[in-house]
A and B are shown apart, each in its own frame.
Chain A
């Protein structure tokens, strides 16, 4: 074959080799069809373990109970027993090591999530005790009168 044909051909072949070598170096070894088929399962297998190793932050009420059994029992006896501790107290993460103290949310807005009267008949929301936030002691925190662990005992 003539030289002017061969030379660009060598360049093309070299380019293909460079791309293949770069691909081999760059693409992780565990990349391939790992799931159902190529369409839905073509990925890096290690990614599944990456997701499994994400840190758990919300530990659940049984974690809180281990040390705060008195508070747990107190709340358990109230109507608020269905609410997880961490919904108001924040995610426990590695408490008591880190964070040492949880940030308790005592804002009016937290209570209003359930207790603003919306008046939607047929929804479970309308069955919860509700107030009009603009008329019911506006500006003062709910906890000044209501104990979140004993919402029934007002005073």
Chain B
């Protein structure tokens, strides 16, 4: 008797193989050139992290000026990608905090918000440079309804100016207040770690402008990187750790009053 080719066994075998071939996309067979494969591996070995040494900052604000000019943020408008805060703690335990125009002209007056503080009453004072924390879990990216802001494979959070329509959710979502509206482009704006500079092997404009080495950028995935060494071996703090954002701007000499 001739064997029935439409047996249940045959039907199941053919059916499963047909389902597998249709489900498997052609892209799975894409061959990577050695150059492409190398690039893919290298990318995953890079994660930018910033280090701020608040002990070294003198509050000159030249980082803010350099950032604004480098990244074409209109100078006279009081918005900025990075800013410096001044904290003066008096002996009565009060904190006096200011950052005039983000400290784009530095701190050239002793008055804090028109308040004169007797030098004898100061128990401690310090400057804190701030910028986007390029979080591992960026809240600003999660809330974007259109995919206009994203995290690159090297950890930098960027905004697509052609795609952002300015709803402002990300500006509200950032716990650090690092985002604002660009007065010319009318889109969300933020620090990019000077992506155009670091991708060419240069330092960010603020890092280069800092005369005292208070600001540094490094690759936290490279144990030989001098900045990564400090972050991995010394006592560093991050801002608002309790938010679970996993901030990647690390601070040396961070005071509990800094939020």
Contacts and interface: CB of A to CB of B under 8 A. Distances in A.
Given A87-B66, A113-B60, A43 B163 contact: yes
B255 to A, nearest CB: 11
A95 interface: no
A122 B57 CA distance: 11
B209 A120 contact: no
Interface residues of B, number: 55
A34 interface: yes
A91 B200 contact: no
Interface in A25-42: 31, 34-36, 39-42
Contacts of B152: 35, 48
B151 A113 contact: no
Contact of A56 (B59, B106, B202): B202
A83 B61 CA distance: 13
Contacts of B147: 31, 42-44
B34 to A, nearest CB: 22
Interface in B115-166: 119, 122, 124-127, 137-138, 141-142, 147-153, 158, 160-163
Contact of A122 (B70, B106, B125, B151): B125
A41 B150 contact: yes
Classify chain A: how many residues form its interface, as a range: 35 or more
B105 interface: yes
A121 B120 CA distance: 10
A50 interface: yes
A119 interface: yes
Contact of B106 (A31, A54, A112): A112
Contact of B208 (A35, A84, A112): A84
A118 B109 CA distance: 7
Interface string B68-103: 011100000000000000001000000000000000
**What are the nearest 10 A-B pairs in CB distance?**
A113-B106, A120-B125, A54-B196, A43-B150, A47-B160, A125-B58, A113-B60, A112-B108, A42-B147, A82-B211
18 contacts: A34-B150, A35-B151, A43-B149, A52-B200, A58-B70, A58-B209, A60-B203, A86-B66, A87-B65, A113-B105, A116-B110, A118-B59, A118-B125, A119-B122, A121-B125, A122-B125, A123-B55, A123-B127
